[in-house]
Amino acid sequence: MKAIKTNIASALKAVTGLDEPALNQMMEYPPNPELGDLALPCFKLAKTMRKSPQQIAEQLAEVLSALPEVAVATPVNGYLNIAVARSSFAKEIVQTAIDKPRALFSSQRGLGHTAAIDYSAPNIAKPFGVGHLRSTIIGESLVRMMREDGYNVVGINHLGDWGTQFGKTIAAYLRWGDEEQVKADPVRELFKLYVRFHQEAEADPSLDEEGRHWFKQLEDGNEQAVRLWKWFIDESIKAFKKTYALLNIEFEHYLGESFYNDKMDAVVDELREKGLLVRDQGAEVVDLSAYDMPPCIIKKSDGTSIYATRDLAAADYRHNHFKADTLVYVVGAEQKLHFQQVFKVLELMGRPYAQHCTHVSFGMMKYNGERLSTRRGKIVYLEDVLTKAITEANRIIEEKNPNLPNRDEVARSVGVGAVIFNDLKTYRVHDVDFRYEDVLNFDGETGPYVQYTHARACSVLRKAGFTEANISWQDSGTLSDTEWGLVVSLSLANEALNRAVDEYDPSIVARYILQLSATFNRFYHHNPILQADEATRAQRLALTVAARNVLASALYLIGLDALEEM
């Protein structure tokens, strides 16, 4: 539909005095398909064209009557309702979806650009909880969508492997740790020690000082502290990779905060040389009061580094080493101020890429209405959630289709897909309340529903004896309303991807998948396919292939498997 909107805008720009982007933005999709495929409200044009909206709509209708893409343009109450010429449009959209479905999505707008996307970032020596799910799957979807849009994308897992928390974990291990217990289940045992440390510190505040002492020892290269820290990292990454494997995610780069330890001094020195560092209660900070922000701490009063210092060094590294001109940070909304400060300091340092730094924030993940807290032990292990979802999927398959081939593999795809889709269908800045009964609901707007829609299309094609070589668009001479509705849905793939990339929001693609699934299922229920006459059957099989291909491409973009049987 994007190309037709562009052609309409081009035809109307001379008459309206508006440019193509402005006219494109004004066009709407009518809520009732009977009104047409597109609508142009003419009310905003009344002032500049000095006519009533209805008169303007009538004038523009005459202009569009010469366009071959437009079947009819009807002025109604100040709106110009536009019906697209169905036959030629359907042929173009459906054949493209059959031959190269990805072309329906991508305009390759990012060619020549490199984006570094920082996402997931679990903390070493702490479990991979559902609280990290949002960053992980939003980030992975952005990686896939931006690659589809032509960007060279570098995915970076910025592991939380540095900071005072490691002093606390080392102190807790040395006080109460058992080496054999930790070796048996490293992350969970280390997490128990971390939680115990905070519980004991409430009664004995001196423990906090002990934790700070051990972090200082770590920064100073103390042999015992470094050995324990490296052990914690190795064991944690092994555990994390098991969870990533379930989610079908692979990272090119695991670059934790500690990777930038030897790169921070250059940043601090440059800040001093440029006169940007000032002393504030013993700490060294960049004063941001002129920008209505609190100071950005670069060095704490005890001389240790802080998140901002490492993020400044990391930004330079990503720009210089990976040649990234776009830096994306998929981190919770609670870090909004932190990234505002970091981006402003980069700008003050004269970094041209600072204007292309984006914090992709997202709402909080709650569990049954409660906020999760690693310090107090309120955490739900993501691996446990995924395992439970897979088990539930297997149970349902046993009830509905016990002879399904590759049953365990399908159960994994359905269970994990249910968890992912439950999150990604939600506008990313909204909070998500994680409840098993919602995540594992296999009816309604869910992952299993959209995966089953793809499987349904595959089933139709199997029964038809479909092969790739014998399917192409065959115009039967008529298109029912539900057939046309499917064509229109297919044509919206590019707009969905563009908006999702521009707004850094995978929910736009997830909602598009739901829309496409609904229009395919209406088409399926209202139009006999295998029993139709030869010409109609060929046309409907082509529509089925097109829907299958576009659904598969869209599901991949948000990290779901496109299943052929369920």
Residue 514, in any domain of the structure: yes
Q: Is 90 exceeded by the pLDDT of residue 93? A: yes
Helix axis angle for 534-557 and 481-491, nearest 10°, is 30
Instruction: Work out the pLDDT band at 378, boundaries 50, 70, 90.
Output: low
Q: Is the pLDDT of residue 372 over 70?
A: no
Give me the mean pLDDT over the 328-340 stretch: 96
pLDDT band at 176, cuts 50/70/90? very high
Q: Is the pLDDT of residue 374 over 60?
A: no
In angstroms, the CA 134 to CA 374 distance is: 16
Considering the domain architecture, whether residues 15 and 140 belong to the same structural domain is answered as no
**pLDDT attached to residue 315:** 98
| Whether the predicted pLDDT of 456 surpasses 70 | yes
Q: Quick one: 26 and 134 in the same domain?
A: no
79 and 102 in contact (C-beta within 8 Å)?
no
Domain membership of residue 267 (yes or no) is: no
**Residue 265 pLDDT:** 93
The stretch 25-38 carries a mean pLDDT of: 91
Q: Look at residue 270 and tell me if it is in a domain.
A: no
pLDDT over 90, % of the chain: 79
Q: Which of 49-58, 232-241, 434-443 is the most confident on average?
A: 49-58
Tokens 């070796």 correspond to: 183
Let me know if residue 220 belongs to a domain. Answer: yes
Q: Among 371, 401, 418, identify where a domain stops.
A: 371
User: Residue 382: which residues within 8 A CB-CB, separation 6 or more?
Assistant: 127, 128, 129, 130, 132, 133, 243
Q: Is residue 295 situated within a structural domain?
A: no
pLDDT at 368 (0 to 100): 72
Per-residue pLDDT at 438: 76
Examine the domain organization and report whether 366 and 237 are in the same domain.
Answer: yes
Asked if residue 449 and residue 328 are part of one domain, the reply reads no
Residue 301 lies in a domain: no
Q: 318, 338, 371: which is the final residue of a domain?
A: 371
Question: Region 72-92: what's the mean pLDDT?
Answer: 94
Model confidence, pTM:
0.91
Tokens matching residue 96:
């493209």
- Using pLDDT thresholds of 50, 70 and 90, give the confidence band for residue 443: confident
Find all residues with CB under 8 Å of 389, minimum gap 6, and list them: 415, 416, 418, 419, 439, 440
User: What is the full DSSP assignment across 312-351?
Assistant: HHHHHHHHHHS--SEEEEE--GGGHHHHHHHHHHHHHTT-
Q: How confident is the model at residue 301 (pLDDT cuts 50, 70, 90)?
A: confident
- How does residue 163 score in pLDDT terms, banded at 50, 70 and 90? confident
Mean pLDDT of the region 36-53? 94
| Half-sphere exposure (Cβ direction) of 95: Cα atoms closer than 13 Å | 10
- What one-letter code names the amino acid at 117? I
Identify the CATH number of the domain in which residue 471 sits.
Answer: 1.10.730.10
What is the pLDDT, as a whole number, of residue 437?
74
Does residue 343 share a domain with residue 461? Answer: no
Query: What would the mean pLDDT of 42-58 be, rounded to a whole number?
Result: 94
CATH number at residue 162: 3.40.50.620
Number of separate domains in the chain: 3
Residue 116: which of 150, 161, 152, 140 has the closest Cα? 152
What is the rounded average pLDDT of the residues 403-409? 93
| Residues 65 and 183 occupy one common structural domain | no
Q: Is the pLDDT of residue 552 over 70?
A: yes
375 has a pLDDT exceeding 60: no
Residues 415 and 340 in one domain: no
Q: Say yes or no to pLDDT of 495 above 90.
A: yes
Q: Check whether 442 has a pLDDT greater than 70.
A: no
Query: Is residue 355 domain-shared with residue 454, that is, in the same domain?
Result: no
Banded model confidence at residue 376, pLDDT cuts 50, 70, 90: low
Rounded Cα gap, residues 232 and 238, in angstroms: 10
Assigned domain for 506 exists: yes
Distance, in Å, from the CA atom of 188 to the CA atom of 111, rounded to the nearest integer, reads: 44
Residue 411, pLDDT > 90, answer yes
Q: Which amino acid is at 46?
A: A
The residue type of 405 is P
- Can you tell me the mean pLDDT for 414-419? 94
The answer to whether residues 57 and 139 belong to one domain is no
Q: Residue 21 is part of a domain; what is its CATH number?
A: 3.30.1360.70
Residue 31 burial by CB count (10 A; 0-12/13-18/19+): exposed, middle or buried? Answer: exposed
Question: Are 348 and 397 found together in one domain?
Answer: no
Does residue 243 fall inside a structural domain? yes
Same domain, yes or no: 155 and 190 = yes
Which residues share a beta bridge with 367? 370, 434
Cβ neighbours around 373 below 10 Å, total: 12
Same domain, 189 and 329: yes
In the chain, % of residues over pLDDT 70: 98
Mean pLDDT of 270-279: 96
Does 255 have pLDDT greater than 80? yes
Q: What is the mean pLDDT of the chain?
A: 92
Residue 125 lies in domain: 119-261+307-371
Strand partners, 371: 366
Task: Check residue 385 and give its pLDDT.
Answer: 86
Evaluate whether 162 touches 225 at the Cβ level (below 8 Å): no
Please determine, for residue 488, whether its predicted confidence score (pLDDT) is greater than 90. yes
pLDDT at 492: 96
Going by the DSSP 8-state scheme, the letter that residue 163 receives in this structure is S
pLDDT at 470: 74
Q: Of 374, 555, 366, 362, whose CA–CA distance to 453 is shortest?
A: 555
